[in-house]
């Protein structure tokens, strides 16, 4: 978590400084109130990719963690407050889909950052189609593709592939024999 915050701070400093070139002048300003709706997987990591840059840019953040991992989201909010972020600047709101829909309908919402399923992301996209003044960032349905090439130890490669695909998502019980067979088929 700390590393991701440091990356965001460095990127913000590099990309968001006011600058002038010739007769033009670029300056950055906050949007206002933005919402961050995050998924169950990587519940302490993924939200920071939206929350930290939004705060650095001067926005206030309404954070709704997944209802499947509410305590991680609550803890993340508490850590932000302990670090000095005022409760008026970042608030954590718990709940299910009904809360997410209510957040989307907030009239003063200036931005929404969503990571989750394609189905929900497309519904959010349709809803905001008539609100071009609201910044919308959707990260939907990623599958973390992985390629292997010229592997000398297929069993070790299979184990790493299974771990990368399932361990972090809370899924266990990958059958390594099937993965080895699959890799052998690819290589034959």
Q: What is the pTM of this model?
A: 0.75
> Under a CB-based contact definition with an 8 Å cutoff, are residues 137 and 161 in contact?
no
Taking the C-alpha atoms of residue 148 and residue 135, their distance in angstroms, rounded to an integer, is 37
pLDDT at 188 over 60: no
Give the confidence band of 171 by pLDDT, cuts at 50, 70, 90.
very low
Closest CA to 154 of 129, 179, 117, 188: 179
Taking the C-alpha atoms of residue 92 and residue 56, their distance in angstroms, rounded to an integer, is 17
Taking the C-alpha atoms of residue 139 and residue 117, their distance in angstroms, rounded to an integer, is 8
Listed by start position, the domains of the chain span 2-99, 154-187
For the segment 3-30, what is each residue's pLDDT rounded down to a tens digit? 777 888 788 777 777 667 777 777 778 9
CATH of domain 2-99: 3.40.605.10
pLDDT at 178 over 90: no
Taking the C-alpha atoms of residue 185 and residue 65, their distance in angstroms, rounded to an integer, is 41
Q: Where are the alpha helices (DSSP H) in the chain?
A: 2-15, 48-56, 70-82, 97-104, 118-128, 154-166, 176-187
Taking the C-alpha atoms of residue 2 and residue 143, their distance in angstroms, rounded to an integer, is 25
> Under a CB-based contact definition with an 8 Å cutoff, are residues 36 and 64 in contact?
yes
> Under a CB-based contact definition with an 8 Å cutoff, are residues 58 and 33 in contact?
no
For the segment 104-149, what is each residue's pLDDT rounded down to a tens digit? 999 999 999 999 888 999 999 999 998 999 999 999 876 556 667 7
Greatest C-alpha distance within the chain:
65
Residue, of 78 and 130, whose pLDDT is higher: 78
Taking the C-alpha atoms of residue 122 and residue 1, their distance in angstroms, rounded to an integer, is 28
């Amino acid at each position: 978590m700390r590393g991701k915050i440091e990356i965001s701070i460095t990127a913000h400093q590099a990309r968001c400084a006011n600058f002038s070139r010739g007769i033009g002048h670029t300056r950055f300003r906050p949007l206002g109130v933005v919402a961050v709706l995050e998924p169950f997987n990587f519940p302490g990591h993924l939200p920071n990719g939206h929350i930290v840059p939004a705060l650095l840019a001067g926005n206030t953040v309404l954070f709704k963690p997944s209802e499947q991992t509410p305590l991680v989201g609550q803890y993340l909010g508490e850590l932000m407050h302990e670090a000095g972020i005022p409760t008026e600047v970042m608030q954590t709101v718990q709940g299910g889909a009904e809360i997410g829909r209510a957040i989307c309908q907030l009239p003063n919402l200036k931005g929404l950052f969503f990571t989750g399923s394609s189905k929900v992301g497309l519904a959010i996209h349709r809803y905001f189609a008539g609100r071009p003044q609201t910044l919308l960032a959707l990260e939907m349905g990623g599958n973390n593709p992985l390629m292997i090439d010229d592997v000398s130890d297929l069993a070790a490669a299979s184990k790493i592939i299974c771990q990368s695909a399932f361990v972090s998502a809370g899924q266990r019980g990958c059958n390594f024999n099937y993965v080895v067979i699959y890799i052998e088929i690819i290589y034959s």
